[in-house]
Amino acid sequence: MRSIGFRFTRLFACSLIGFCSLASAAVSPSPDKPTIAIAIHGGAGTIEKAKFTLEKEQAYRAKLQEAVETGYAVLNKGGSSLDAVVAAINVLENSPFFNAGKGAVYTHEETHELDASIMDGRNRQAGAVAGVKRIENPINLARLVMERSPHVMLAGEGAEQFAREQQVPLVENSLFDTEHRYEALKKAKQKMRDAMEKTPDYQAALGQLEAKFKMGTVGAVALDKEGNIAAGTSTGGMTNKRFGRVGDSPIIGAGTFADNGSCAVSATGHGEYFIRYAVASDICARVQYQGKSVAEAGDEVINQVLKPAGGTGGVVILDAQGNISMPFNTAGMYRASKRNGEPSYVAIFKEE
Ligand code: ASP
């Protein structure tokens, strides 16, 4: 999707020169065919070209493409934005490349604790699960919480008990084991030990570690032919996190938000900041109350609010007109989008 790539380059240039018209971000509405669109991410962080072999880069791009095409196919058949979000996220959860489902990172205790949330832009219904250990596709359970429980979020044992009642099979936690994530945990623990030798301050050591090891998460936002938008996010959290730690991904307004009147957002990044800055709802509030475009609102929150505060990460944003923005303040973000039958746009690094 060249136009979107062009738009990002433009946006980048805008932030360098300080002003710029973002009119090119607008989608021209077609009277005969409703706009359908989807944008996904597979995490943001220190994702630099030098760290990739050609094969690895191609494999990541192919998986992102598969996820965005899978979600788009749902929309193209007239499916709902919620169904498209879940379908795209399932592809990413089932891949060991991304920090969600099968590729989830390890906690300090060498287990996996998964978080996910989903929101329906039609009516602000939402569902979330936090700290689940035995759910293969946490985004599906988040949706069941939304649709079949009176609650928004269920955590830990309670969420798994609910899953049983809903005939969702419980899997072994070891299903999420991968060698590369285990190596990352060992490295993270070693880095913590090294840092604590210099300064025996656990919080400071953890702070240093976070810059390198926190990133992951998958998410999607979609617009269906009925004009409804939805957002969803799923994650394994942060390598070496304390057991019981919950990040922004299952928190409505922080990691996920959707309202047809403003926008749909799925976030990835240093969860503690995304919670404290209510990132997803702040972006949509700027769209709704200040009349900002999704590109302007996303750039403001990610680059002008979060970055100076020390919060790293990015978001995918979509409005009910099909405008897409995918800002991030890290070296890279796995991302892809597709709209109205145009070729899909797939990118990893900054200047794409
Ligand atoms: N936001 C996730 C969390 O803090 C992690 C990430 O997106 O990298 O749990």
**pLDDT band at residue 31, thresholds of 50, 70 and 90?**
low
**pLDDT band at residue 198, thresholds of 50, 70 and 90?**
confident
CA of 43 to the centre of ligand 1 (A): 8
Tell me the domain boundaries of the chain. 2-27+35-349
Residue nearest to atom 9 of ligand 1 (CA): 237
Question: In a mutational test of the pocket of ligand 1, which residue from 214, 252, 272, 277 has the highest number of ligand atoms less than 8 Å from its CB?
Answer: 214
Q: What is the pLDDT of residues 141-158, one digit of tens each?
A: 999 999 999 999 999 999
Residue type, position 63, single letter: K
Give residue 191's pLDDT.
85
Give the residue among 61, 49, 29 at the shortest CA–CA distance from 331: 49
Q: What is the pLDDT of residues 237-280, one digit of tens each?
A: 999 998 999 999 999 999 999 999 999 999 999 999 999 999 99
CATH of 2-27+35-349, one of 3.40.50.1010, 3.40.50.1950, 3.60.20.30, 1.10.150.120: 3.60.20.30
**pLDDT band at residue 236, thresholds of 50, 70 and 90?**
very high
Question: In a mutational test of the pocket of ligand 1, which residue from 217, 218, 246 has the highest number of ligand atoms less than 8 Å from its CB?
Answer: 217
Residue nearest to atom 4 of ligand 1 (CA): 271
Residue 199 is a catalytic residue: no
Give residue 316's pLDDT.
98
Which stretches within 199-290 are classed as H helix? 202-213, 271-276, 279-290
pLDDT greater than 50 at residue 2: no
pTM of the prediction? 0.90
Residue type, position 40, single letter: I
Give the residue among 298, 248, 242, 245 at the shortest CA–CA distance from 272: 248
Residue nearest to atom 7 of ligand 1 (CA): 268
Q: Would you say the CB of residue 275 lies under 6 angstroms from ligand 1? A: no
- Structure token digits, residue 201: 């301050």
The mean-pLDDT minimum among 40-49, 260-269, 328-337 falls in 40-49
